[in-house]
Amino acid sequence: MPSSRLSLRLAQLPHDVLADLAARLCSDSPALQAAAEECMATYKPLSHELVERVLLSFDLVPSILGPLETEDGAAAAVCSQWLAGWQATNEPPWPRRRLKQVPLELPEKIDISGSLKKQTATPDGRLVVRDGFKVHILDRSMRALQTVAGKYYGQIAASDDSIFYVQISVDEDDRLCRCSHDGTAEAVYQLQNYSFSLPLLAGGLLFCVATNEEGNGEHHGAHDEIIALDAQTLQLRHRFGLGLLDGAHEMCVAGDELHVCDTFNDRLQVFSLTGEHRRSVTGEWRSPVNICFAQDRLYLVEQDDDVYDEEAYAPRGHRLLVLSLQGDILQVVMNAIQPDAFFHSICCFDGQLLAAYRYNAFDAAPGSPSPPAHGVLAFHGL
């Protein structure tokens, strides 16, 4: 029963009057709107089908135009209004989110294009790149703040005060190392008969692809798994993914989930940060090898294996793909400067996407000048 005189009187009003009153009361108050949304989520939640088909859809055409009768001109009227609104939302200062290439000034004397794959962005806004056996720490203007010499191999990860890297030895197992920004060694992790690659720092953990070299004969990648170490002590915390991954490559963290490129299976494997397998993601793409995440979108590059993809009308690796978290392609970006070049790594840094590319000089026509072997493109619109 109503608990007050006011609620008693309101209870006597028709439903449509109460709904109109509630909407008017909430319209001028963000706090009341939030309370109304919470109440509706509890007592009248949206159907799963509506959420999946409309709210999470990148294409609303079927949902909006589907119920309309085309013979009475309703669809045409909606299209005209929609086109006007679509064009308006693409104008500054509120353009739709699409990657747009912007100029990029690279640092002098540092070949970032060749080392971008071995890079990371620190939480405090610095870019750490490997160039040969050296590591350079750059600020947002791409100016080198510090250079650290050492035995750095492969991809690196970095925090505000540490650099994580794999130290390869011919006679011994790989060593996963942490050092300070001045190169002082601070922690080491080894696992007998395992090699390491592609470290990723997230949530106080260091994730890394670990491959069992003893069982890695006939089919490379079938013995891949993910290890998670404490980022400070390099103590083992979790091991997972064995049997699910075939040719594991780059990883990224989206919210509280770890997305892993499961290259030879043409999919992404999604885990919790403690190793629970949650789902597999597939789409109109193949052989994912490079990935990063920003603002509820995934950015993905396919393996550059020169295999012609008839659906994509281009060899894999020539496309930079913008994906929803469900794996749907929202945008395809090609290299306008060197259309025949392959993207080989991507990085989200300072509100933009950096994409390094390389060009195989052997693909150039006989007698024609060879284009630059590699370079970096920058995109806004994350």
Of the candidates 312, 351, 323, 358, the one whose C-alpha atom is nearest the C-alpha of residue 102 is 351
- Looking at residue 213, its pLDDT comes to 76
Write out the two tokens for 54: 């409309």
Cβ-based burial of 356 (10 A; exposed 0-12, middle 13-18, buried ≥19): buried
Beta bridge partners of 205: 202, 230
Taking CA atoms, 318 is separated from 45, 67, 337, 343, in Å, by 43, 39, 12, 6
Q: Is the pLDDT of residue 320 over 50?
A: yes
- Looking at residue 65, its pLDDT comes to 64
Q: Is the pLDDT of residue 93 over 60?
A: no
> How far apart (Å, rounded) are the C-alpha atoms in residues 128 and 144?
10
Phi-psi region of 113 (alpha: psi -120 to 50; beta: other; left: phi over 0): alpha
Write out the two tokens for 140: 């947002």
- Residue 135, classed as helix, strand or coil, is strand
pTM of the predicted model, to two decimals? 0.71
DSSP 326: T
The residue count of the chain comes to: 382
Q: Is the pLDDT of residue 382 over 80?
A: yes
Write out the two tokens for 221: 């990648």
pLDDT digits (tens, 9 = 90+) for 164-205: 988 887 777 888 999 998 888 899 999 988 888 889 999 899
* 371 CB-near residues (< 8 Å, 6+ apart): 338, 341, 359, 364
Q: Are 378 and 101 in contact (CB under 8 A)?
A: yes
Residue whose pair of structure tokens reads 């392959």 in the numeric block: 342
Of the candidates 306, 269, 303, the one whose C-alpha atom is nearest the C-alpha of residue 286 is 303
- Residue 244, classed as helix, strand or coil, is coil
DSSP 51: I
Of the candidates 101, 117, 115, 100, the one whose C-alpha atom is nearest the C-alpha of residue 317 is 117
Rg of the chain in Å (alpha carbons): 26
> How far apart (Å, rounded) are the C-alpha atoms in residues 235 and 36?
47
Q: What is the rounded average pLDDT for all residues in the chain?
A: 80
The more confident residue out of 7 and 235 is 235
Write out the two tokens for 88: 């308006």
pLDDT digits (tens, 9 = 90+) for 293-303: 998 899 999 98
**Is the backbone peptide bond immediately before 107 cis, with ω within 30 degrees of 0?**
no
Q: Is the pLDDT of residue 308 over 50?
A: no
In the chain, where are the structural domains located? 283-382
DSSP run (H or E) holding 153: strand 153-158
> How far apart (Å, rounded) are the C-alpha atoms in residues 16 and 62?
29
Q: Is the pLDDT of residue 155 over 60?
A: yes
pLDDT digits (tens, 9 = 90+) for 13-55: 888 888 888 888 877 777 787 788 777 777 777 676 666 656 6
pLDDT digits (tens, 9 = 90+) for 262-283: 999 999 999 999 999 999 999 9
Find how far residue 207's CA is from the centre of its chain.
16
